[in-house]
Structure 1
Amino acid sequence: MPAPRVCLGLLLTVTLVTGGVLFHAELGAWVRQRPLLFPVFVFLAQLLFIPRITMLVISGLLFTPVLAAGLTLLGDTAAAVVVWAWSRWSFSDATDGFFAGRPKWRRVRDSLCGRSPLLALTVLRILPFSHFSTISLVSGALRLPLPVYVTGTILGCIPTALFYAFAADWSLRAGSVFPAIALGGLVFSLVAWFSVRSFRNECPEKSG
């Protein structure tokens, strides 16, 4: 049942982000002295399937935006490669059963294995409603080439890493999270619309 996992992820997200806001000064002072530990936290969060937005927002609360984006990108990429390698070794022989009866997932499969897997993966990483670790699992199961996978992951993660870091920093300066939330909703609505449109144009529905 996905519901318990979704609820747990939401609870962890709210708890961690709220803790980051309430204890910003204390956490910031401790982490700034050990900045290279933050990618480790990001790495562990991805392995635990904690929503990526959690660490993106926390990074923006603790570091300057550019440094925050760089640290989260480092942890995200490392975790993505580990999950990809594990999935490639564990699930690559069972993909037919995994995609049976799931036409939308078959579209993802066809796009990742088609003529533009780099574009497809980049779009999937950018989309705000795509689960980071799930995409890593599917990419590994499909044996997506590692250079393409790493490049698409980095290209797709940079925009969101920068946006959430700047949004969190802006929220601290403005004293309210609501302007950042409103701007985030608008920006990501436009990004999602454009990404889905590009995804569908590049990867039309297939019958298999």
Structure 2
Amino acid sequence: MKNTRSSPLKKGYKFVLFFIFLFAVIFLIVYFDFEKLIDFNNLLQLKERLITIHPILVFLSILGLYFIFSFLFLTIAPLSILCGILFDKFLGAFLSLIGSTITMTISFLISRFFLNSIFKKLKDKNKTFQSIMDNLSINGKQYILFARLFFITPYNALNVVSGISDIKTKDYIIYSILGCIPSTIFYAYSGSILSTLKDYDSVKKNGVILAIIIGIFFLLIFILKRIFSKKLLKKNNL
């Protein structure tokens, strides 16, 4: 019965996401001319045009994508990179943080006030949810901070389980924001570098820089996670 019920839901989510994606592609092809879209320089011009003429609409569209990704339990990292591509590193990081904050807060509030009983039942059957709940009950604030910093738990799972825990809404939001700042800066900066890869020379120069930055970032994440997890997390969650 469990598989019979969950399968149609998953198919429904995929259908909605596919429909939105297909609609966006058709709109872009018709409105901006397909031949222009396949040229990289024209894509850059299109980006500048959208940001210049419709900056608020672009940002609201990205916020909508943040909500859809969060609702479907998809990683939001590509959206943070997209913010960097569209708005450059500083504004991109700021807008990405806003998008992340809004979506993780909405997920938290939905879990706490609207779907609390459903997620509590799921928690008893899901080992990931149980592990998150155990750690939240021991050191809630610290766990949320380091879970965001070091990608210890799935992003959206933490949103949901925090909602059915005893942690205060204020503490959840504050420590989530603090934990998300480094990753949003990193993704937005990566996106800003990707937007400069226009030809072979730029790929050769900036591509190498980006590869080095990515390597250093995830190496630091790995090292710091090992250090702090021994002090603040339960051993069975390492």
Paired residue secondary structure (1:173): coil
The more displaced of 99-108 and 189-198 is 99-108
Structure with the bigger percentage of helix: 2
Query: Counterparts in 2 of 1:28-177, with a 5 A limit?
Result: 28-49=48-69, 50-93=74-117, 97-100=121-124, 102-115=126-139, 117-128=140-151, 130-173=153-196, 175-176=202-203
- Give the unaligned 5+ runs of structure 1: none
In structure 2, distance between residues paired with 1:173 and 1:119: 38
Change (3 A) 1:137 1:104: closer
CA contact (8 A) 1:24 1:62 kept: no
Q: In the TM superposition, what whole-angstrom CA distance separates every residue of 1:170-202 from its partner, at most 9, and x where no partner exists?
A: 233353374324531441232134225423421
Shift of 1:72: 1.2
For 2:56, give the aligned amino acid.
L
Paired residue secondary structure (2:224): helix
The residue aligned with 1:192 is 222
CA contact (8 A) 1:120 1:199 kept: no
CA contact (8 A) 1:60 1:68 kept: yes
- Give the unaligned 5+ runs of structure 2: 1-6, 26-36
Note the aligned Cα RMSD (angstroms).
Answer: 3.5
Shift of 1:58: 0.9
Question: Could you state the TM-score of these two structures normalised by the residue count of structure 1?
Answer: 0.75
In structure 1, distance between residues paired with 2:90 and 2:184: 9
Question: Could you state the TM-score of these two structures normalised by the residue count of structure 2?
Answer: 0.67
Change (3 A) 1:203 1:58: same
User: How many residues of Structure 1 are paired with residues of Structure 2 in the alignment?
Assistant: 197
Paired residue secondary structure (1:98): helix
CA contact (8 A) 2:111 2:164 kept: yes
Query: Counterparts in 2 of 1:6-45, with a 5 A limit?
Result: 22=40, 23-45=43-65
The more displaced of 94-103 and 165-174 is 94-103
The residue aligned with 1:202 is 232
Shift of 1:138: 1.7
CA contact (8 A) 2:148 2:155 kept: yes
* Fraction of identical pairs, as percent: 17
Q: In the TM superposition, what whole-angstrom CA distance separates every residue of 1:111-166 from its partner, at most 9, and x where no partner exists?
A: 22323x22211222223575433321121122431111111121111111111111
